[in-house]
Structure 1
Amino acid sequence: MTDVIQATKRDSTGTAATNRLRRNGLVPAVLYGHGESNEHLAIPAVQVKGLLRHHSKMIKLTGDVNENALVSEMQWDALGIEVLHLDLIRVNLKEKVEVTVSIETHGEAAGTREGGILLENLHEVDVRCSAGAIPESLVLDVNDLHVGQHATANDLQLPEGVELVTDGETVIVHVEAARTEEPTEDAGDSIGAEPEVISKGGGGDDEEA
């Protein structure tokens, strides 16, 4: 999915200037690549949140610049809540790019009906494809997984023109047998214990009558 983003050029790039941008509901960004000069931009924070909701990798910049760009990196605040800065790369929609794409599991693993638990080892993979055909996510069907079985990156459903970069043998999910609690021994349990022998007191010889 390609989101359309309104971008304005910014002249000031210092800390004070970027803090002012953020207070005004804007996120600073840098557009670079293709041998052209870097552009320092400001993007509405509400549109950045839209990117996050849509998991968009490609954006169409309008306003002061008119470019197709790939979201290269997002810088987050210390709590991982707000996006502080965006790095954007100019791209031609037909050129090949490498991107990270999220994974969606579809179905109910057979092993969960056998008492097992489906565990996810990986939530995203790297792929290579044309910039104009980046998938929002990749589907992994888990219906046929039984206890003790797993699915790898090779089992992902790749759209036409999308090539897997992540090692195909990488385990994405596996079904593990549910753990059962082992019985604990009661420290006070005397079942099966040897009887205690108690000797009679009096260590001396019997007195003569």
Structure 2
Amino acid sequence: MEKGLLIVLSGPSGVGKGTVCAALRKRKPELIYSISATTRKPRQGEADGVNYFFKTKEEFQKMIQNNELLEWAEYVGNYYGTPIEFVKKTIDSGEDIILEIDVQGALKVKEKFPEAVYVFLVPPSIDELKNRIEGRGTETADNIKHRLSMAQEEIELLKHYDYAVVNDKIDNACSKIECIIVAEHCKRFRFIENKTKEGV
């Protein structure tokens, strides 16, 4: 059986990672969404193993100690991370899985899982990124300035990724990512690996 792919979708805050990821999953319902582990309490309607893997702090710390996470971070007193086991089981079953994550998290994942496909979502321009962040109506002027400064620094890290996709229109971005997935499955080394396993 051909192995699945781990697609890591990343980019600066406000670029539209969540929107593109949601649209991509509607277009490709077979694409599995990477479920994070967290120590925060479930919200109404959330289910364990569907929205998150809900863990106690002790369980999460044990996962850190046992090297069971591709990456993790602490945010507002709670831990969040990407379990390796769920990712590996998914790709071993031949299914593709997508992980939507910030730039710092993606670079941590690359240290442990360099064979994944790394896609950087790029804003059409810094001005457009500013408009999108301002359009949320949730950020102060200082926060917007800080986010834009961070975005410019993160765009410099594009060199660590395999692909760059400009998020000008959601449909265009999704089409390009779908093409990337097809191309990656057609890579020579994957074909040779599969034929070797089949004994051909």
Q: TM-score, normalised by structure 2?
A: 0.26
Where relative contact order (Cα < 8 A, 6+ residues apart) is larger, the structure is 2
Q: Which has the higher helix share?
A: 2
Point out the structure with max Rg over C-alpha.
1
Q: Which has the higher strand share?
A: 1
Q: TM-score, normalised by structure 1?
A: 0.25
